Amino acid sequence: MQTELGHELTRAVLTTTDVFLREGQRLFRPHGITAAQYNVLSALAAAGDGMSQRELGDLLVVDRSNVTGLVDRMEKAGWVRRSDDPADRRVYRLTLTPAGRRLWEKVCPAYGQIVAQVVSGLTAKQVRETVEVLRRLQAGAVAWREPGNPAAPEASRGVRGRKRPPLK
Q: Are residues 162 and 89 in the same domain?
A: no
Q: Are residues 103 and 41 in the same domain?
A: yes
The Cα–Cα gap between 142 and 125 comes to 26
Q: What's the total number of domains in the chain?
A: 2
Cross-strand partners of 81? 95
The Cα–Cα gap between 47 and 83 comes to 15
Q: Which domain holds residue 155?
A: 119-168
pLDDT digits (tens, 9 = 90+) for 104-161: 999 999 999 999 999 999 999 999 999 999 999 888 887 776 565 555 544 334 444 4
Q: Are residues 97 and 123 in the same domain?
A: no
Rounded (10°) angle between helices 98-118 and 2-28: 130
Q: Write down the pLDDT at residue 147.
A: 60
Q: Are residues 49 and 71 in the same domain?
A: yes
Cross-strand partners of 149? none
CATH number at residue 15: 1.10.10.10
8 Å CB contact between 160 and 64: yes
DSSP structural state of residue 153: P
Alpha helices in 2-97 (DSSP H): 2-28, 35-46, 53-60, 64-76
> Which strand (E) or helix (H) includes residue 103?
helix 98-118
Q: Write down the pLDDT at residue 164.
A: 40
Q: Which residues of 147-166 are buried (b: 16+ CB within 10 A; e: fewer)?
A: eeeeeeeeeeeeeeeeeeee
Closest listed residue to residue 39, CA positions, set 5, 74, 15: 74
pLDDT digits (tens, 9 = 90+) for 61-97: 777 788 999 999 999 999 999 998 888 888 889 999 9
Task: Give residue 99's pLDDT band: very low, low, confident or very high (50, 70, 90).
Answer: very high
Q: Enter the pTM of the model.
A: 0.75
Q: Are residues 106 and 123 in the same domain?
A: no
Q: Are residues 101 and 19 in the same domain?
A: yes
Q: Write down the pLDDT at residue 144.
A: 73
Q: Are residues 96 and 155 in the same domain?
A: no
pLDDT digits (tens, 9 = 90+) for 8-30: 999 999 999 999 888 888 999 99
